[in-house]
Every structure is written in structure tokens, then in C-alpha cells.
């Protein structure tokens, strides 16, 4: 019982941790969100453009390696999140490993089973793409991401929804913590929540979170919250240096993508 309460509390703590880190890292949070969003987008696009048997995707690990030394994100937060996604990826990749019996030629005349190569590239791509998204979140406060999305003319409703969902997620976790606490205090002999009580608890949790979310929204409205205006506070104009940095990054991505291609052609 205590474990699940602790679990909820630690989820809340790590959500906050993520936001606090993103707000505090000076080097990258001073970089405009639109630039970072666009850079992540280009990066992901390049990574997914590699074929299933194309080991050139490994070249793109240069970026995370370089960034790691500059930003040094809290490794625990980063890997914890990566670990959430990895099982799904491994699960998808494993079917390739079993069913794909084709023979693939590797550079320098080596040969191996296609399944093994595709399993490996899927893993690489997943780590790179999820890593890029995580990196964006780790170095950009949520409000700034919202402003960045607005900069790309995404509809206000959509952006607001994203931001509020994150806020309400915390409200829901908080409600879950309170309810669990109340439940366990009145059922000290149980080691968890009775299965027969789950449906009641979940329904109640939903209603309570909804009520609280509504109250919070009222509080925001009472303090002059206006979706468009608030989202647009965080809209930034890119400086010349930022655009130059972005162009360099895009150029490096394209260069590596092309290098992968040439490398593959030459080796085959």
C-alpha cells in the first residue's frame, strides 16, 4: 500500500523534476523553442529516413554524444523515461528477429541475417527519436514549447490542450494520492486496494479530477487567463545567431544522412 502511494508521489516528483530542470538549464533554455522544435523535427526526419537494413543510422549517435557533454541532463530521469519506451520497441523488433530470415550483406563483405540487422536499426532509431524528444522536453519549459508551437501557427486550442493536459495530469496524480491515502487509513489491514473497489475508486478519481480541473480553470479565468494571449506570451522571435545555429545543425544532419548513403553505396 505504501509502495503505490510512494509510486504516485515519485511520479509527481519526477514530473516536477523534469520541469524544474528544463526551466533551469541556462544554455539550452535560452535558445528559442521554435529553433529547438525545428531542429528536433529535422533530426527525427533524417533518422527515420534510413532503411531497415541501413546501419548508417548509427552515425546520428554523434549528436547525442556531443550534446551529452554540453548539457549533462540528469541521467536517471533520461534513462527512466527511455526504459518506459524500450520494451515496446524490443517487442516490435523481436518479430523481425524471428521471422526475417533474409541474408543481408554488410559493409566489407560480411553477411548476416536480415532480422538481426533490422532489430538493431529499429532499436537505434527508437533510442535516437525518443532521445531527441526527451532532450527537447528536458531543456525547454512546457510554456516555451507551447509558444514555439504557436510560432508554427498550430491552432491555439490544440496547443492549449497539450499544456493543460500536462497540468491536469499532475492534478490527477495529486487526487489519486489523496484518495489512496484516505482509503488506506480506513483500511489499514489491506495491502492494497481491493479489486472489488477499483471501479468505484477509478470513477471517483475521474470525477474528482474533473471537478478540480474545472476549479483550477475557473481560477485561471478569474486571473485574466486568455488562451491566445497567454500562449502568445511565450512566442519568441529568433535571433540571427539562432537561425545560423539551426542552419548549421540542419546542414550537419543532411551531411550525415548523405554520408550514410555514400558509405552504404561504397561498401556494398
Partner 1 sequence: MVKIENLSVEYGGGNCALKDVSLEIKDGESVALLGANGAGKSTLLKTLAGLNKISSGFVEISGVRVERKNLRKIRSDIGFVFQNSDDQLFSLTVEEDVVFGLRNMGIDFQKSKEIAGETMERLNISHLANRSPSRLSEGEKKRAAIACILAMKPKILLFDEPTSQLDARSTRLLCELLKSLNGTKIIATHDLNVARSVCGKAAVLDNSRLVKFGDASEILSDEKLLFDCSLL
**Cβ atoms of 147 and 233 closer than 8 Å:** yes
Is residue 221 involved in binding partner 1 (CB under 8 A)?
yes
Nearest one of 264, 117, 261, 82 to 253, comparing CA atoms: 261
Q: Least distance in Å: CB of 16 to partner 1? A: 6
Q: Which is nearer to partner 1, 167 or 264 (CB)?
A: 167
Pairwise CA distance, residues 158 & 167, whole Å: 14
* Residues in a beta bridge with 103: 113
Residues binding partner 1: what is the number (CB under 8 A)? 24
Q: Least distance in Å: CB of 29 to partner 1? A: 14
Q: Which of 216, 245, 250, 267 binds partner 1 (CB under 8 A)?
A: 216
Q: Which is nearer to partner 1, 12 or 252 (CB)?
A: 12
Task: Choose the binding region for partner 1 from 35-43, 73-81, 165-173, 240-248 (rule: CB under 8 A).
Answer: 165-173
Is residue 174 involved in binding partner 1 (CB under 8 A)?
yes
Task: Choose the binding region for partner 1 from 105-113, 155-163, 216-224, 241-249 (rule: CB under 8 A).
Answer: 216-224
Task: Choose the binding region for partner 1 from 31-39, 89-97, 194-202, 213-221 (rule: CB under 8 A).
Answer: 213-221
Q: Which of 102, 161, 218, 239 binds partner 1 (CB under 8 A)?
A: 218
Pairwise CA distance, residues 251 & 258, whole Å: 10
Q: Least distance in Å: CB of 201 to partner 1? A: 20
Q: Which of 1, 4, 14, 19 binds partner 1 (CB under 8 A)?
A: 19
3-class DSSP assignment, residue 126? helix
Is residue 167 involved in binding partner 1 (CB under 8 A)?
yes
Q: How many residues does the chain have?
A: 268
Q: Least distance in Å: CB of 190 to partner 1? A: 27
User: Going by C-beta distance under 8 Å and a sequence separation of 6 or more, which residues neighbour residue 22?
Assistant: 29, 137, 138, 139, 140, 141, 142
Q: Which of 230, 235, 238, 245 binds partner 1 (CB under 8 A)?
A: 230
**Cβ atoms of 256 and 49 closer than 8 Å:** no
**Cβ atoms of 47 and 125 closer than 8 Å:** yes
**Cβ atoms of 173 and 258 closer than 8 Å:** no
**Cβ atoms of 57 and 125 closer than 8 Å:** yes
Q: Which of 157, 182, 219, 259 binds partner 1 (CB under 8 A)?
A: 219
**Cβ atoms of 25 and 78 closer than 8 Å:** no
What residues line the site for partner 1 (CB under 8 A)?
12, 16, 19-20, 23, 167, 170-171, 174, 212, 215-216, 218-226, 229-230, 233
Amino acid at each position: 500500500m505504501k509502495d503505490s502511494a510512494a509510486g504516485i508521489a515519485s511520479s509527481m516528483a519526477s514530473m516536477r523534476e523534469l520541469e524544474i530542470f528544463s526551466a533551469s538549464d541556462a544554455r539550452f533554455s535560452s535558445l528559442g523553442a521554435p529553433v529547438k522544435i525545428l531542429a528536433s523535427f529535422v533530426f527525427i526526419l533524417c533518422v527515420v529516413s534510413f532503411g531497415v537494413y541501413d546501419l548508417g543510422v548509427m552515425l546520428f549517435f554523434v549528436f547525442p554524444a556531443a550534446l551529452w557533454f554540453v548539457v549533462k541532463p540528469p541521467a536517471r530521469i533520461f534513462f527512466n523515461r527511455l526504459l518506459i519506451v524500450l520494451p515496446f520497441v524490443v517487442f516490435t523488433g523481436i518479430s523481425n528477429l524471428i521471422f526475417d530470415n533474409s541474408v543481408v550483406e554488410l559493409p566489407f563483405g560480411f553477411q548476416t541475417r536480415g532480422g538481426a540487422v533490422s532489430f538493431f536499426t529499429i532499436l537505434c532509431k527508437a533510442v535516437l527519436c525518443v532521445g531527441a524528444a526527451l532532450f527537447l522536453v528536458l531543456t525547454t519549459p512546457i510554456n516555451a514549447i507551447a509558444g514555439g508551437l504557436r510560432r508554427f501557427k498550430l491552432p491555439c486550442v490544440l496547443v492549449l490542450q497539450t499544456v493543460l493536459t500536462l497540468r491536469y495530469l499532475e492534478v490527477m496524480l495529486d487526487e489519486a494520492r489523496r484518495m489512496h491515502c484516505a482509503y488506506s487509513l480506513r483500511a489499514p489491514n489491506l495491502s492494497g486496494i481491493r479489486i472489488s473497489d477499483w471501479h468505484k475508486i477509478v470513477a471517483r478519481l475521474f470525477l474528482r479530477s474533473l471537478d478540480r480541473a474545472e476549479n483550477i480553470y475557473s481560477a485561471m479565468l478569474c486571473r485574466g487567463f486568455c488562451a491566445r494571449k497567454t500562449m502568445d506570451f511565450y512566442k519568441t522571435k529568433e535571433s540571427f545567431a539562432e537561425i545560423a545555429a539551426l542552419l548549421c545543425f540542419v546542414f550537419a544532419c543532411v551531411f550525415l544522412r548523405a554520408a550514410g548513403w555514400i558509405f552504404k553505396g561504397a561498401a556494398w
